[in-house]
Every structure is written in C-alpha cells, then in structure tokens.
Amino acid sequence: MDDEKLNISVRKFLKNVGISSQRNIEGKVREKVNSGDITSSSKVKIKARITSDEINLDDTIEGEIEI
C-alpha cells in the first residue's frame, strides 16, 4: 500500500464532500431563513455520515452550525 497515494486520494474525496456539502447546507439554511422557519440567530444541529461496505466503515459526525 502506498500511504502517500492513499492520503492524497482521501483528501480529494473529502475536499469534494466539503465543497458539495457546504453548498447544500448554505442553500437549505437560506431557504429556511427566507421562509421564516428559522431565524438568522439560530443554531442548526447537523450530522454527516460516511459509509463504506468494502472497509466496514460507518461513521457519523455531529455538530452545530451557527446562523
């Protein structure tokens, strides 16, 4: 196994996840603020789940986003 190749590949995947997730989260937050469902001073609980059947991975990261 080439550790450097693995590291670069994982980083590329996570960069793609981060960019896509950020756009989706920001869009949904704007929709909810504009509709009045949440206020611009709210905190939103959020979860991210990463899974892979091939390596038996099922991990959930939880946090909050301040609006």
The tens digit of pLDDT for each residue in 3-55 reads: 999 999 999 999 999 999 999 999 999 999 999 999 988 899 999 999 999 99
Range of the domain at 47: 3-66
Closest CA to 48 of 67, 31, 32, 65: 65
Place of tokens 């929709």: 31
Which pLDDT score, from 0 to 100, does residue 40 have?
Answer: 85
Which string of b and e fits 29-43 if b means at least 16 CB within 10 Å?
Answer: beeeeeeeeeeeeee
Model confidence, pTM: 0.84
Q: How many domains does the chain have?
A: 1
